[in-house]
Structures are given as structure tokens and as C-alpha cells.
Amino acid sequence: MICYPYPKVTFSPVREHLKSWTAQNLGSADTAAIQILFSLPKMPDVQTLVNDFLNQLKKRKIEGSQATAKLTAELLRSVISQQRVPHTNQATALIYAVRAVGEQLIAANPVELAVGNIVRRVLHIIREEDLSLATAAMAGLGVSAASDDEDDMERDENSVLSAAAVAAAARSTLRPPSLQTLLEDTPDSAAAPHTSSSGGESDGRSRSVDKGSRVRKLKHDVIEAVNELIQDISTCYEQIAEQAVEHIHHNEVILTLGSSKTVLEFLYAAKEKQRSFKVFVAEGAPRYQGHILAKELAARGLQTTVITDSAVFAMISRVNMVIVGAHAVMANGGVIAPVGLNMVALAAQRHAVPFVVLAGSHKLCPLYPHNPEVLLNELRSPSELLDFGEFSDCMDSASGTGSLHVVNPTFDYVPPKLVSLFITDTGGHNPSYMYRLIADYYSADDLVVKRRPTAGS
């Protein structure tokens, strides 16, 4: 579990705190350390790419989980493509490399859960591809369980990291027991024998040849799959928007807070389908992105009204549906969302207004939250709320007793009981179903991306 205590930014000993805040957010001292730790064989340009991205993450230069997810996926793709893979255990090596990068990325911005999600997705892709290759090969070999074991043993010897776990997991944990995968699996394993490899009597040579082809194939497949993932991320809101007509009816009043590309596309899609409805946009202090959204919506011909965040409760009694975007969706169905949404969700619950969260699949996080309001939150600069100049004088006259403490969190946690529906690119889901949906995207081995201190996966 990610546990990053964030010091609250205060004005009281202002300068020190500002300094610490700066260090927190801009700190690049550990990049060097990261580079040292980064001991994997790697092309230098990948290393620079990684470092650039790390810096951007640390400085919070990348806005929005979609952009972050896309960039992460692209970075990991280049990591994979640049990764020199050994003849044996290529999957393990890839996994190891991705993990090493992923760990740093996650550490760079632990609250940007999309990074971790993408790292896990890529890991999952590698495992899947490896598995499908392995099953295909094994089916072709027609080997027994004994040779399977042998194979594992061999891997174990070759790799410093125990690949046994990976291989074992290949059968048991890698594939979540979903009906779909089960059905897909069956024909796979029962498929006609592959001709790519022959029976293994001369173990050394024929196996290495076989693996050589598998290596290239694996890497190729993985990169293909990552490309698909990137494609998915960039088009996820189109798929979400397609479902808009099923949820927005004529003459409805929709409330949203802040700005989200997904919400914009969703509403616009409904508008394009000749649904006429009104939208209330809460401005979403302190970032006021609601202003942007409102302007966009109005420009696209939707009847839009901007309200202050404080008026949410007043207006919600006339609202038919709350549609919001999310920062991340946790495995329990809870939502990490822009600040203020917990309030909106409570108001919606009070008035029995459906609270609908739109989330692309890259926002689904396989972790269960613990005290997410604090631990998965980030405090931004007080300057967004208070002008320091205005208050500096009264701080001086405060004779030391009074102190001022400005709290400006970025995210809110909306517990699953307040969410009526998730709309993802795969359709609508109940909050209680999220864990299952998430199991489709991630493998259980990857939940903790952090490498263990001792060798071993």
C-alpha cells in the first residue's frame, strides 16, 4: 500500500514551509540515486526518457490521468523495445525491467495511480503473452507435466530471480478465472500441435533455437499489445461516450463538477443524439476547471449554467443525474476524484440523485484504499486560496500565538456506497463489481510493483 505522509503546507513559519514544499514537489535530488540503482542493461536514450518522465511526474507537470497513462505506456513500450532480452526467461527479464522502471515512476508520483495501473497492465500483458506463447509451444510439444517441471527447473537455474514463481503463476494466478479467459484458454491449449518446435531430445540446441524465435515473438507480441493499450487509452472516452444515450434522457438536468474530457465527450455525445438537456457545472475551486468545461459545453450548444461549488446542495434537488470524471477508481469501488466530489456525492445521495462516474479502464486501480483522503491525496500550494501578501502582516502581529494553516487538497475520496454507477469503456458496472473488472486487467503478482529487498520476484 502506498503510504506517503504529506506534510501540510502552512504559512506559519512560512519560508521554511515553502522551502519544504518546494523540495517536496520539485526535489530532484534522488534522481541521481535512481540512476545508480538503475542497474539494468539499457540503452542510454531510454534512461534519459525515463529520467525526463520522472522529473515531470515529480514536478507534477503532467496533468490528468489519461495523459499520464499514455505517457507511461509509451515509455514502457520503449523500455521494452530497448531491453536486451536473454535467450531464456525473456519474460522474466522483461518483467524485471518494467518493474524496475515502474517502481521509480510510481515513487515519483504515488498519488497518480494511473502510472501504477499502466505499469501493472504492461506487466500483465507480458505475462499473458508469455503464457500464450508457452501454452502454444507446450501444446506443440505435447509434453507431460514432468517436462513442464523440468522446464521450470531449468529456468530457475538460469535466472537469478526465481522464474519458478512466474511460471507457476502462469497456470494458476496469471489468468484470472473469468469465464471468458477460460473459454479462450480451452481452444488454445487444445489447439492443433504447433509445428514450430519438435520433441526435445537434444535439449540444448533445439530448445535454444526454439527460444530464440520465442524471444523475438514475445517482444513483438508485447509491444503490439502495449500499442493496443495506448490505443485504448487514447480512445477510451469515445467508447464511454457511445453509452451516453443510454443514460441521458430528454429534458434532464445534469450536474458535474470541475472539468473532465470524458465528461465533456459524454455529454456532447448525448447532445449529438438530439437529446436536449441542461447542464449545471460547479466550478471546482480552487482550479476552476468548471469554467473551461462550461465554456466548451456552451460552445457545443448545450444549455449550461455555472454555479459555485457551495450551491451544489441547493441545486441538487433539481438535478436528475450527477455525472463526473474520476482521478482513479479503487478496487473496492471507491473513487479518488477531484476535490469537492465527496460533497457532491453526499448531496446526491441525500436527494437520491444517481451519481455516475465515468472512468476509462486505465483509471482502474487494483489497490484497496486505506485512509485515502490523506494517503492518496496531495496538498497544493496555499497561494491558490490565499494571497500570502495579504496575510503576512497579520501573521507578524499575531504575537506568536496565532497560526495560520492553509489546507488545499487536490483529491477527494468518494466511498463506493455513494456511487451509483461506473461507466467504463467496457460498459456500466456497479461499484461492487469493480474488483472483478480489475482482475481482468491485472495479474495478482503485480499488485505490489516494488521489488523485494532480497532477490526473488
Q: Which residues of the shown chain bind another protein in the complex (CB under 8 A)?
A: 278, 280, 283-286, 288, 291-292, 294-295, 297-299, 301-315, 317-318, 339-340, 342-343, 346-347, 350, 373-374, 377, 384-387, 390-391, 394-395, 397-399, 401-409, 412-413
Contact 422, 434 (CB under 8 A): yes
- Look-up: residue for cell 507457476? 168
Distance CA 363, CA 383 (A): 29
CB of 109 vs another protein, minimal distance in Å: 19
Q: Specify the residue, 411 or 422, whose C-beta has the smaller distance to another protein.
A: 411
Contact 214, 133 (CB under 8 A): yes
CB of 365 vs another protein, minimal distance in Å: 20
Angle at the Cα of 426 (from 420 to 431), degrees rounded to 5? 25
Contact 329, 295 (CB under 8 A): no
For residue 251, give the 3-state DSSP assignment.
coil
444: nearest Cα among 71, 210, 247, 165: 165
Distance CA 422, CA 424 (A): 6
CB of 438 vs another protein, minimal distance in Å: 25
C-alpha distances (whole Å) from 180 to each of 120, 125, 132, 446 are 20, 16, 15, 21
Q: Specify the residue, 221 or 412, whose C-beta has the smaller distance to another protein.
A: 412
For the stretch 392-411, what's the b/e string if a residue is b when 16 or more beta carbons lie within 10 angstroms of its beta carbon?
Answer: eeebeeeeeeeeeebebbbb
Contact 315, 254 (CB under 8 A): no
Q: Specify the residue, 34 or 322, whose C-beta has the smaller distance to another protein.
A: 322
CB of 251 vs another protein, minimal distance in Å: 12
CB of 352 vs another protein, minimal distance in Å: 14
CB of 390 vs another protein, minimal distance in Å: 8
DSSP string, 22-39: HHHHH--HHHHHHHHH--
CB of 187 vs another protein, minimal distance in Å: 50
Cell triple for residue 441?
486487467
Q: Specify the residue, 220 or 318, whose C-beta has the smaller distance to another protein.
A: 318
CB of 70 vs another protein, minimal distance in Å: 24
Cell triple for residue 262?
470524458
- Look-up: residue for cell 532477490? 455
Q: Specify the residue, 172 or 401, whose C-beta has the smaller distance to another protein.
A: 401
Q: Specify the residue, 277 or 422, whose C-beta has the smaller distance to another protein.
A: 277
CB of 311 vs another protein, minimal distance in Å: 4
C-alpha distances (whole Å) from 100 to each of 26, 29, 122, 336 are 22, 19, 13, 26
Q: Specify the residue, 112 or 283, whose C-beta has the smaller distance to another protein.
A: 283
Q: Specify the residue, 199 or 402, whose C-beta has the smaller distance to another protein.
A: 402
Q: Specify the residue, 250 or 452, whose C-beta has the smaller distance to another protein.
A: 250
